[in-house]
Amino acid sequence: MNLRKMAKLSNIVGLVGIFALIYWIVIKMTTDVYRLKIFQEKTSDLFGWSIAGILAMMFGALMINIMFNLSRIADKLDNEEQIKVQVSKKWIFAFLISLPLVVGGLFLGNNVSIKKFEDKVLTISESTVHYYSSNLDDIILSYAFNTEWVNKTDNLITILEHYDTLSLRVSIIFEDEIDEIPVYLIFNRKNGDNGIKCKKDYLLMCSSTTREYIDKVFKENYSQPYFGVEEERRSRSEYGLYIPYEKNGKKAILLFFTYSRWGELGSS
């Protein structure tokens, strides 16, 4: 058994483990800090197990290195041989250069993932709206805050949500008033289960960016779709597409959305 080669091999394994650990930590920190949507929800579990695996590999390499180096020291103590771990500067330089490339790749993957998801949701949403346009016309033209209308809207939304296997959730946003104060009400599935409630129970809650978009739709006749993300508790986010809809001067916004934990878009 060549002790020198075995010690050198254990050094290489240890260094590879260190580089892998640094790469993985940089990737995890970047995706968490900048909320990049690349990996599946189980990435956090995978991260924990992979870190444990890398550390186990490094510990094993360290133990092997110590044993073989001690054997070499014992065999060649008289020669006072120095045992050094040499790492080529070009490899260190290549490693440092690769870090920003990895981060850049993460952001590129984030953009590609979002664009792919937007295109899929847009295609399904537009197809759904086209297929049920007559039913949507009826809901919008007959808008009235009463039990009959809420139940009818609940039934239609249930049907819309079963149009495609992607299982997007659907809501409809209307402009209304409470005590002569302009508000936005949002209606979704199960609103009518317990009978009609008061308008304040249907008030829309959203980010300032989303509210600015909704204001433009209802007050400035803006008609372009908008893809937005609403942060939720427990690391869950709402990814949604807002589609303005108008019929005979009456407006509404259709919201097609899905809930998921952070980073699940990458494989959708």
If DSSP states are collapsed to H, E and C, what string results for the chain?
CCHHHHHHHHHHHHHHHHHHHHHHHHHHHHHHHCCCCCCCCCHHHHHHHHHHHHHHHHHHHHHHHHHHHHHHHHHCHHHCCCCCCCCCHHHHHHHHHHHHHHHHHHHHHHHHHHHHHHHHHHHHHHHHHHHCHHHHHHHHHCCCCCHHHHHHHHHHHHHHHCCCCCCCEEEEEEEEEECCEEEEEEEECCCCCCCCCCHHHHECCCCHHHHHHHHHHHHHCCCCCEEEEEECCCCEEEEEEEEEEEECCEEEEEEEEEEEECCHHHHC
Strand partners, 231: 237
Residue that the structure tokens 């254990």 belong to? 10
Q: Which residues, 6+ apart, have CB-to-CB distance to 267 below 8 Å?
A: 39, 40
**Whether the Cβ atoms of residue 268 and residue 121 lie closer than 8 Å to each other:** no
Extents of the domains making up the chain:
3-87, 124-267
Q: What is the CATH number of domain 124-267?
A: 3.30.450
What are 235-260's pLDDT values in tens digits? 556 788 999 999 999 999 999 988 76
What are 87-142's pLDDT values in tens digits? 567 767 777 788 788 788 877 877 777 788 788 888 989 899 999 999 999 999 99
What are 166-210's pLDDT values in tens digits? 778 899 999 999 988 999 999 988 655 555 678 888 999 888 899
State residue 218's pLDDT score.
94
Residue that the structure tokens 């949500």 belong to? 161
